[in-house]
Structure 1
Amino acid sequence: MVQSKRQTDILRLLESEGAIGIAELAARLGVSLETVRRDLKPLAGLGAVIKTHGEVGLPSSMGEAPFEKRMRENSAAKKTIAAHVAATIRDGDSIMLDTGTTTSFLARALIGHRRLTVVTNSSDIARTLATVNGNRVYMAGGELRSDNGAAFGSTAIDFVSRFSVTHAIVSAGGIDKDGVMDFDLDEADFARMALSRGQRRLVVCDHTKFGRQGLVRVCGFSGVTELATDYAPPYEISAALEASGAALTVAHK
């Protein structure tokens, strides 16, 4: 089959970012949903891509666990944000991290740090930073979810409520002018508690989360001291951040 330029662009996007929502793919390409569906149909027929529940990806990425797929999405941006935030953390600092792909990249960016005290509900983050460089890692208890290996619920929230840390850093499912959103009630509850335990209350997310409406509100911008991202957000979000007194950090490569 001879691919059109747009079909080639689709495959390149999927190779770099993993699975993408079909609506987001249409927006990235600047075409209608109908057009992108027409482009995808022959690719899917040949097995070059797999479509499922409004999402499309390469066969290799669609076979991954959900958390592994999300780690591939916008990974370059997340690594850039993680490297910038890691540079603001000193040896010996205390950090609370929720589960999320950007916070997992941050844990990897902190491997060179020493004597960190880390509190988290993420088994991925705990494994990354435990037993190296004199770190102390505290893992919240409770049943671990199969998709991301993280603990949630009242047991996890009660555990982290006992700590006070220098840096409380959480990810976000969405950011709009009213604040930080998530798609899962338990994750939102945990993130809200985590932010309340930090002197520095930092939200990390890439630009694709701007304007995304989550199901559950985590907090308004008054609940955070800083937002770290890879591109400046739209005006109404920037204005809301400034009005709340929260700082905006844009990480560059």
Structure 2
Amino acid sequence: MAENFRLNDLMQIARAEGRIVAEDAAVRLGVTVQTIRRDLVKLSETGKLTRVHGGAVLPSGTANIGYADRRGLMATEKAALAAACASAVPDDAALFMNIGTTTEAVAHALLSHQRLMVVTNNINVANTLVANPGCEIVVAGGHLRRSDGGLVGTLANRIVEQFKFDIAIIGCSALDQDGDLLDFDMLEIGVTQAAIARARRTFLVADHSKFSRNAPARIASLRDIDMVFTDRPLSPALERACGDWKTEIVIAPAGGDTASSQEN
């Protein structure tokens, strides 16, 4: 079957069923699983699908992908940009880390840091950092969102407001072409906004899949961010805007060398 026909058929399956399972699609279309995976990569790169473990789903503008599936998305890319972010975090720092699989990856990269204090509304981040004996952990209590271990709401906001952070490390669900950071849950973004307001510096960690996604709630703008850690260059227009805003872009491709906008 020709590639263009396969791609059309895959999109029809996704629209009808909401999800593509690579092994199932290979049987239905009479090709190898490797061929389907290559097709899904092409469709995800154009923003038509979002890769998840074992296949792909339609990108959503109003509801997020499940947390377990998000963990499998861009795992190698997240690990690379998380390592770059962690290298910019000194020992003896007070941090805030919000909800998300990318900030969870940063937590793994911080396990060798010393004398950190981390405030988080992400139970997964807290559980990860338990393995670092040199890290004091403060969990911002609030309403528990069972789907992803997030703690949200007024109580979480009030706890965050009691601190002054050296660095807030945040993720987002989407990055709009005008530089706005977007997410899905108004309660969640309130906690992140409170942390940004109380941080001396703010780091954004976001892989390139966020560049083609959409979400309804605005967190902040890239003008409010000091450093962006990602795996691919932003659009030329956003790069120019970041230059005007003094927002440093650090590109850490999976398996490649890290580059900073300040080096260009």
Letter in 2 for 1:103: T
Report which stretch shifted further, 220-229 or 69-78: 220-229
Letter in 1 for 2:148: N
Shift of 1:132: 3.1
Match of 1:189?
Answer: 190
| TM-score normalized by the length of structure 1 | 0.77
Letter in 1 for 2:206: C
Shift of 1:11: 3.4
Unaligned runs of 5+ in 1: 15-23, 37-48, 56-64
Three-state SS of the structure 2 residue aligned to 1:151 is: strand
Shift of 1:90: 2.0
CA contact (8 A) 2:98 2:192 kept: yes
Match of 2:137?
Answer: 137
Shift of 1:68: 1.7
Three-state SS of the structure 2 residue aligned to 1:104 is: helix
Deviations 1:3-46 (A, max 9, x none): 436x63323677xxxxxxxxx86353x79x7xx9xxxxxxxxxx
User: 2:65 matched to 1:4?
Assistant: no
Q: Percent identity?
A: 27
Structure number with greater CO (CA < 8 Å, separation at least 6) is: 2
Letter in 2 for 1:228: F
CA contact (8 A) 1:170 1:194 kept: no
CA contact (8 A) 2:95 2:169 kept: yes
Match of 1:221?
Answer: 222
Aligned Cα root-mean-square deviation (Å): 2.7
Letter in 2 for 1:203: L
Letter in 2 for 1:9: T
User: 2:188 matched to 1:161?
Assistant: no
Match of 2:6?
Answer: none
Three-state SS of the structure 2 residue aligned to 1:162 is: coil
Matches for 1:1-253 after TM superposition, within 5 Å: 3-4=30-31, 8-11=34-37, 26-28=43-45, 54=58, 66-130=66-130, 132-176=132-176, 177-252=178-253, 253=255
Q: Call closer, same or farther: CA 1:8–1:83 in 2, change over 3 Å.
A: same
Shift of 1:209: 0.9
Q: Call closer, same or farther: CA 1:138–1:233 in 2, change over 3 Å.
A: same
Shift of 1:213: 2.7
CA contact (8 A) 2:37 2:55 kept: no
Cα distance between partner residues in 1 of 2:94 and 2:116: 6
Corresponding residue pairs, total:
217
Cα distance between partner residues in 2 of 1:131 and 1:72: 22
Letter in 1 for 2:35: D
Shift of 1:151: 0.4
Report which stretch shifted further, 226-235 or 183-192: 183-192
CA contact (8 A) 2:111 2:131 kept: no
Q: Call closer, same or farther: CA 1:13–1:151 in 2, change over 3 Å.
A: farther
Q: Call closer, same or farther: CA 1:13–1:190 in 2, change over 3 Å.
A: farther
Letter in 2 for 1:130: V
Deviations 1:29-80 (A, max 9, x none): x79x7xx9xxxxxxxxxxxx7887x47xxxxxxxxx9212111100000000
Three-state SS of the structure 2 residue aligned to 1:201 is: strand
